[in-house]
Amino acid sequence: MKYLHTMIRISDLEKSLNFYCKGLGLIETRRMENEQGRFTLIFLAAPGDENAELELTYNWYDDNLGDGSRNFGHLAYRVENIYQTCEKLKDMGYTINRPPRDGHMAFVRSPDNISIEIIQEGNLEIKEPWASMKNEGVW
């Protein structure tokens, strides 16, 4: 058996690619446009880990995702520097719902309300302003 991918539905292609690629640093590995089915599939992966993909499914019609996008749990990515990743996402206008107070774990939400866990590779020293930040919203 081999793990292939996780699929999530998205409502805005541009906003989602901005979040996952520019914000988190994932790369697009392939894309499939289906005229007949009126949808686009975009596969993303972390650089150097292209065998574990995230499939973004974008339906061309009005696809109301509702409030249940969190139901499946969350996606998790390990990063080299959690503070830099969170600062970059924050500078892009995303709310860090659970700041990396411990220097190890944070949560942020995608444009479609998908909860993303960010885990520090190895250990970093606990650092301000992150150590004093409170949770914002749900994660």
Domains (ranges, CATH) in the chain?
1-60 (3.10.180.10), 74-139 (3.10.180.10)
Q: Which residues contact 6 (CB under 8 A, 6 or more apart)?
A: 53, 54, 55, 75
pLDDT digits (tens, 9 = 90+) for 44-100: 999 999 989 999 989 888 667 666 555 566 888 999 999 999 999 999 999 999 999
pTM: 0.77
Mean of the pLDDT values across residues 96-114?
93
Give residue 5's pLDDT band: very low, low, confident or very high (50, 70, 90): confident
Give me the phi and psi of 37, to 5 degrees please. -85, -10
Residue 113 has pLDDT above 70, yes or no: yes
pLDDT at position 1: 55
- Check if 28 is active-site: no
- H or E stretch covering 15: helix 13-17
In the chain, what's the furthest Cα-to-Cα distance?
52
CA angle 135, 54, 92 (to 5 degrees): 45
Name the catalytic one among 117, 121, 128, 136.
117
DSSP of 67-78, one letter per residue? Answer: TGGGTT--EEEE
pLDDT at position 139: 78
